[in-house]
Structure 1
Amino acid sequence: MIFFLAARNVVRRSRRSLLVAGLIAAAVALLFFGNSILDSIDAGLSRSFAESFTGELAVAAISSRSFGVFGDETPAIGEYTPLPVIREFPAAMEILNRFPEIERATPLISGAAVIDLCGTRRPLPVFGIDASTYFQTFPRSTLIEGKLPEPGQAGALISSTRAEEIEKRSGRRPSPGDPVMLNMFGKRGFRIEEVPLVGIVDFEISNPLLESTVLVDAQTLRALLGLTLARSSAYEPPAETTSLLGAEMEGLFQDAEQTQEVPSEELTLQEVRRVLSEPSDAPEDLEPRSGVWHFILLRL
């Protein structure tokens, strides 16, 4: 009965009913169209960020704090909060290489420092990177001036936007070879590192935080943050240098006897130079330890 009355009412007022139905249909179509546009924009931005500096996934050490590639998400005011490090980087990379879904991977160290360049001084985010894999992982970061740092070479890269900003403030555009001073004050004291500017990078995505980021070699940022700088090698020290490592304190002096000092010749500068110039038995080709990183960024 109710359906019959409703149908008769629609037939009697067909014009008004068609108008209301048309408005409802238009509103629904507009809603679907708007959601489609927003989804496309969101997917495009996500893809741009992933191809520029974040990747689709990031591997990091377990922590009770929430943090991202730019540091602690709830930092203390006026204080840099250290991030946990991935200590077993080679083992982590070995596991990740087993997944065929992962196309590329690059390690990253995240920090912040006061950057002095061409007479300008400003606190900026700093990324310690492996240049040989970073720009392959993020193809939307293009080198437009200079060159990438070679393995083991200290150097810094800035964005083209940052270079233009410095040119406006100082009247001179930064160029490869200019000294870049990185300053940081933390719980371990004040640290300063100076490296040459080796290149200028253009980021396709427009993001103020990314454009202000300074890219440096990983070893420079490790030194600035006070991370482990130990080096690994197969070098074994001679036995006479390690003979006392297992001795007890009492046994060190049991055979001690009083001796008369013999006057020695005065140490000269030439003698110091001779000692320092003598060849060492230690290997010279020690590679920087690769196990101290904050993140492994993945592209799928």
Structure 2
Amino acid sequence: MSNKSVGYAMLLLIVGNLIAVFSDALIKTLDDGVAVFQFVFFRQLTAVIILLPFCAKNALPSFTQGLKWHALRAHIWLFGAVFMVFAINSMPLATANAIFYAAPLIMLPLAFVFFREKLTKKSVMTGVVGFIGVLVVIRPTHIDWAAISALVVALTLAGNNLLIRKLPTNQTVAQTLLLTNAVGMPASLGLALWEGETWNWTPLLTAAGSSFFILIYAATCVVAYRSVESNKIASAEYSGLLGAVLVGILWFGEIPEVEMLIGSALIILPLLLLAKVERKQKKACANAEQSTIDTPLESEFSLSTER
């Protein structure tokens, strides 16, 4: 773990999630008959092309470190990307994103089970209230394949973010993202060939734009989840819902209802409260440490050890 603050990590996730909405919006512009596996392959291909210049100077041996974890994340991401295309094209943008943002809540028990992270009352309550907000937004009256697909995406996002802990910390963000996409390309190409559709390169530009925005999001996740325990910052993922609402209105004419506004408030307000509490706690700890350092006994001990 680095010494970056929880507030800094949460800010990164907020910015990343707002930018990720534009990736989803581009996916929503695809024609109904688009070959899904081809499009997913195009996204990985363009992501690798975008990232290669940032990794050209890196030594080759560094790319082999943690390869099994990169492979696992790559195929989890591939699995989720396929369901993401279906979910986004089958429901309003804000509704799909609301279900995607069940990921932070899923991360809490996963982090407890697999990483033995301590769950604080504040982080659990923030996640629970945020998820209630998600339910208010979507008002689920029945479960259809689109909703199930969106929940699968949420599960894959949670798993991918937690597995960041297993990646080598000496690899750059660009290396991490390049490997995650490159290692998964054989599988996505195989699925595209198995799909049996005529190759259509028209969606390539849309795939490139989607990759660009999602890479920014992925980079913020890598930095944030390497810096701070996931249970302390995972609720920041909910912030992108407001961006999804706004983009849905301006781009697709999807006017949110009152329930959307209430649900969004339930999602965002606990997040702001958690950040405020964390800042106060950190300031109090810093003041306590400073008081200890300033005592005469501590000063004498420091001088004696320097000699």
**Larger relative contact order (CA 8 Å, sep ≥ 6):** 2
* Fold-level similarity (TM above 0.5): no
Query: TM-score, length-normalised on structure 2?
Result: 0.23
Q: Which has the higher strand share?
A: 1
The structure in which a higher percent of residues are helix is: 2
